[in-house]
Structure 1
Amino acid sequence: METAQAQLDNRAFIGNRPGQLKYTYISRNPDGPDTKLDDSLRRESQQRAREDSVSSGDLRLSLNAFVFFKDNEYFNKIIDGYTLYGTHLNPQLVYYPSQNLRLEGGVFLWKDFGNPVLKAVRPTFRATWTHGKQQLIFGNIRPHLHHNYIEPMFNFERVMLNPLEEGIQTVIRTHRFFLDQWVDWQRQQYRYSNYQEEVAGGLSTSYRTSRDGSRWTTTIPFQFTAIHHGGQIDTLDKPLQTVFNGALGLETRYLLQRPTMQAVRFQGYVLGYQDYSFTRNQFPYRNGWGLYLNGTLESRILDVMVSYWQGQRFLSPLGGDFYQSASRTVSDPGFLDPHRKIIMVRLMRDIRISDAAAITARVEPVYDLNSGALDYSLAMYFNFRQEWLLGNIGRRTRVGQ
């Protein structure tokens, strides 16, 4: 079963094993399999399958730890320069009432460096029912990067700034098809509230058209997001907001099978924006569109991606700041760039520490073709995720039975 990817390879952020990276095994013979490596991979895959197997009644302890550093050296009128530096910690107990039902409960802690007070302390609960290739997830759904959106549709920084999403999610994953349908209930409204309810949701799909075993992999992705702010029981005289974004693309990847150079990849997307709010003029544009092109060279040492973005009156409430045609800055909130054009280069590397841990380093210079400004960001992330089996409480005799 292949891992669905959108714009970037983010498996260190979302995989069960952050350190199980894509270049762990590289055949020495580009014209055929290496027997020794194939045997090693088979034995390790069997060992991991045994570790991942569950039984009814299993009780486990899980720990998710994430340390982030992102320095945005931005000096423009669309997006502010700032630094994100902190850590997320999410210990949980995991229980399997049956093999296809997973219950997780714990606490989420968010601490920004340079701030003695915790940014957030929130309980977490997730119920995941697996039925064949389909999963239904309730509670704390699998958020942000798990949806596999491109950055103009969904901001990468949500992994740091919006780490939790709560609602319902449906995930279907086969060797050809990926689907993630989700609803995130962001703010609950009550009678006489002085604020609106806020809800977001979307659909992310990808279908592989290339045949199995081919060095060419071609997929057709479709992505959709929507946000709604409103409600009928608040005390505000504020109009409703409803905004849709969509993207249709073509992705192709060619496997090079060389010791250093692994693959080349191209992605092309056409995006749309539409404001369906009943009350006009809440946003500077009623509709817009965008063109997004990415070319990537994947190597064992470094991945290099070159991106071109052209946005015509494009807005995306959930999307990355750099792709907007309206300012999100503190100093220039009214600035507009209706015909936005930028070129971005990404230098990316994942460093394996163990199966449970990995470090990700990224450098991203951005050139604004309209203003001639060159900005950049530097980032380093540490991901740790692991589970430990505490025992099987389902096999114990309960008192009174």
Structure 2
Amino acid sequence: MGNFLRILVAVGALLVTAGQARAQLDNRAFTSPEPGRTKFGKNPSLLAEGADTAVSRATPQAGDLRISLNAFTFFKDNEYFNDIVEGYTLFGTQLNPQLVYYPTKELRLEAGVFLWKDFGNPTLRQVRPTYRATWTHGPHQFIFGNIRANLNHGYIEPLLDFERVMLKPLEEGLQYRLHTQRISLDVWVDWLRQEYAGVSYQEQIAGGLSGSYRLTRPESPVDVSIPLQFTAQHHGGQIDTLHAPVQTLFNYATGVVARVPLHGSVLQAVRLNAYGLLFDDHSFSNYRLPYQTGKGLYINGTLETRYFDVMASYWQGHQFFAPLGGNYYQSIASRYGTPGFTDAERRLLLVRLLRDFRISDAAALTVRVEPVYDFNRQLLDFSFGFYLNFRQEWLLGNVGRRMRAGQQ
């Protein structure tokens, strides 16, 4: 585990002049503190996706006590008929009510409970306590406990699966985020499974960083940035009885991202981004996977319109594998696919129709239709989904003022 953390810190040091790369999809309805307010009528910027420097429109004061509710209802139907990933449906709801306290203006403490209920299942899938401490100091933010998870990191889908917002909603560990006019950075560690002496399983850790450097000024007619992304997953440990070999997997991505505003009443902007990706099994000859190295090419073009966004994506992967990434992009079958199946050369064309409907500042409904064509198999699959995001806070009062008044 020590080598894993040292490598993660080293890569983070190399990218300290980089920032958070926007994912190729506009996921702000899933990440913004106000799902129905941030996107609509706003020009997407470097800080828009995943930025959480302001948790609500009201500026917090020392002593503020609040209650918050994060509610998420999802339906995603994957009509897939291939050996990498067969079709399945995700349908359920997740709730996270919390108490929020500000000991100081810069320190935010949250504690609550996370509830996950899949429809068609009479029992709760998860009931877990949640806790987060967030210290914001200028452009810097340090998060301890339940970090800002999944889509908040801003990865492209081959590196981090969109479905993690439903299947892996909580991440626990440490996170550092930096947001300036040109630079944005997200460095994180998610402690997946704690190891204890004598157990029959390995410790599991995931982590990485997502960043980009903005090349153009805010007033420039074209917004151009250079993204840098890195993920890692580690299975190991020394005090278990399993004595399985250590496994450490790395993924890297970089490229260029551009957005051109069109200022039309219907056609609003064009987004283009292209990435080169690498896969490296860094397990020191303890290889468990069919491939030890791989690479990929990922090209996206999006037309933003008044009514919906249309996006076309091309994926070409050679022996590519990302343990946290979207199932469809991999050269190794997922747990939903045919066991042991591999496809060394993947060539895919994805077309997406995306629309967010504003319900209120606190709520938005997202609709997505996503056909995908496999050139090798000459196979057309598709998925579609509906997602309702609601996030809001209410101020209960200021405990600090009450305490000061009682001392007088």
**Does the pair score TM above 0.5?**
yes
The residue identity in structure 2 corresponding to 1:154 is L
Equivalent residue, structure 1, for 2:293: 287
Query: What does residue 174 of structure 1 align with?
Result: 180
Partners of 1:64 and 1:132 lie apart in 2 by 26
Structure 1 moving runs of 4+ over 6 Å: 398-401
Amino acid at match of 2:341: F
Q: Secondary structure at the match of 1:394?
A: helix
- Letter matched to residue 230 of structure 1: G
Query: Aligned partners of 2:403, 2:153: CA distance in 1, in Å?
Result: 41
CA distance, structure 2, for counterparts of residue 49 and residue 67 of structure 1: 21
The yes-or-no answer on 1:324 pairing with 2:341 is no
| Matched residue, 2:72 | 66
- The 3-state SS of whatever aligns with 2:29 is helix
1:218 lines up with 2:235 in the alignment: no
Q: Cα offset for 1:281?
A: 3.5
Which sits farther off after the overlay, 232-241 or 304-313? Answer: 232-241
Q: CA 1:239 to 1:358, structure 2 compared with 1: closer, same or farther past 3 Å?
A: same
Distance 1:3 1:256, change over 3 A: farther
| Partner in structure 1 of residue 269 of structure 2 | 263
CA distance in 1, matches of 2:316, 2:97: 42
Q: Which residue in the other structure is 2:170 paired with?
A: 164
Name the SS of the counterpart of 1:52 in structure 2: coil
What is the DSSP-based 3-state SS (H/G/I as helix, E as strand, rest coil) of the residue aligned with 1:396?
Answer: helix
Secondary structure, counterpart of 1:193 in structure 2: coil
In 2 relative to 1, CA 360–50 (structure 1 residues): closer, same or farther, beyond 3 Å? closer
Are the counterparts in 1 of residues 321 and 332 from structure 2 also a CA contact under 8 Å? yes
Deviation (angstroms), 1:212: 2.1
**1:190–1:3 distance in 2 versus 1, CA, 3 Å:** closer
Give the partner amino acid of 2:28: R
Q: Give the match for residue 35 of structure 1.
A: none
Deviations 1:63-100 (A, max 9, x none): 00000000000000101210000001000000000000
Q: Shift of residue 334 of structure 1?
A: 1.2
Which shifted more, 49-58 or 362-371?
49-58
SS of 2:81's partner is coil
Answer with 1 or 2: which has the greater Rg.
1
CA RMSD, 1 decimal? 1.8
Mapping for residues 77-116 of structure 1, pairs under 5 Å: 77-116=83-122
Alignment check: 8 A CA contact 1:267 1:294 kept:
yes
Q: Give 1:23 shift.
A: 3.6
Aligned to 1:151: 157
Unpaired stretches in structure 1, ≥5 consecutive residues? 27-47
Give CA-to-partner distance per residue, 1:133-180, whole Å, 9 cap, x none. 000000000000000000001010000000000000000011211100
The 8 Å contact of residues 60 and 389 in structure 1, kept in 2 or not, is answered as: yes
Q: Which residue is equivalent to 1:33?
A: none
Partner of 2:16: none
How far off is 1:25 after superposition?
A: 6.3
- SS where residue 81 of structure 1 aligns? strand
- 2:11 is the alignment partner of 1:5: no
Distance 1:113 1:255, change over 3 A: same
Instruction: Report Cα offsets for 1:34-82 as digits up to 9, x if no partner.
Output: xxxxxxxxxxxxxx99942111000000000000000000000101210
Q: In structure 2, how many angstroms separate the alpha carbons of the residues matched to 1:248 and 1:51?
A: 34
Helix, strand or coil at the partner of 1:395: helix
Q: CA contact under 8 A between 2:246 and 2:286: conserved in structure 1?
A: no
Q: Who is 1:396 aligned against? A: 402
Q: 2:236 matched to 1:230? A: yes
* Conservation of the 8 A alpha-carbon contact between 1:57 and 1:96: yes
- The amino acid of 2:34's aligned partner reads R
Distance in structure 2 (CA, Å) of the matches to 1:111 and 1:158: 16
Letter in 2 for 1:309: W
User: Are 1:17 and 2:34 counterparts?
Assistant: yes
1:117 aligned to 120, 123, 134, which one?
123
Aligned-partner residue type, residue 359 of structure 1: L
Do residues 127 (structure 1) and 144 (structure 2) align? no
Percentage identity across paired residues of the two chains: 60
Question: Which segments of 5 or more consecutive residues in structure 2 lack a partner in the other structure?
Answer: 1-18, 44-53
Note the 1:48-59 alignment, pairs <5 A.
Answer: 51-59=57-65
Structure 2 distance, partners of 1:152, 1:49, is 29
2:270 matches 1:253: no
Match of 2:354 among 348, 357, 364: 348
Question: Residues of 1 paired with 2:20 and 2:343: CA distance?
Answer: 36
Contact in 2 for aligned 1:347/1:363 (Cα 8 Å): yes
Q: Deviations over 1:207-238 (max 9, x none)?
A: 11012212200000000000000100101031
Report SS of the residue matched to 1:123: strand
Instruction: Tell me the distance in 2 between the aligned counterparts of 1:151 and 1:397.
Output: 48
Alignment length (residue pairs): 379
Distance 1:400 1:17, change over 3 A: closer
Contact residue 239 and residue 279 of structure 1 kept, 8 A: no
Partners of 2:383 and 2:257 lie apart in 1 by: 26
Give the Å deviation of 1:326.
1.0
Pair 225,134 (structure 1): closer, same or farther in 2 beyond 3 Å: same
| Structure 1 residue 280 displacement after superposition | 3.6
* Structure 1 residues 329 and 397, CA gap change in structure 2 (3 angstroms): closer
SS in 1 for 2:128: strand
Q: Which amino acid counterpart does residue 215 of structure 1 have in structure 2?
A: P
The one of 284, 287, 304 equivalent to 1:278 is 284
CA distance in structure 2 between the partners assigned to 1:254 and 1:294 by the alignment: 14
Instruction: Establish whether residue 364 from structure 1 lines up as the match of residue 381 from structure 2.
Output: no
SS in 2 for 1:283: coil
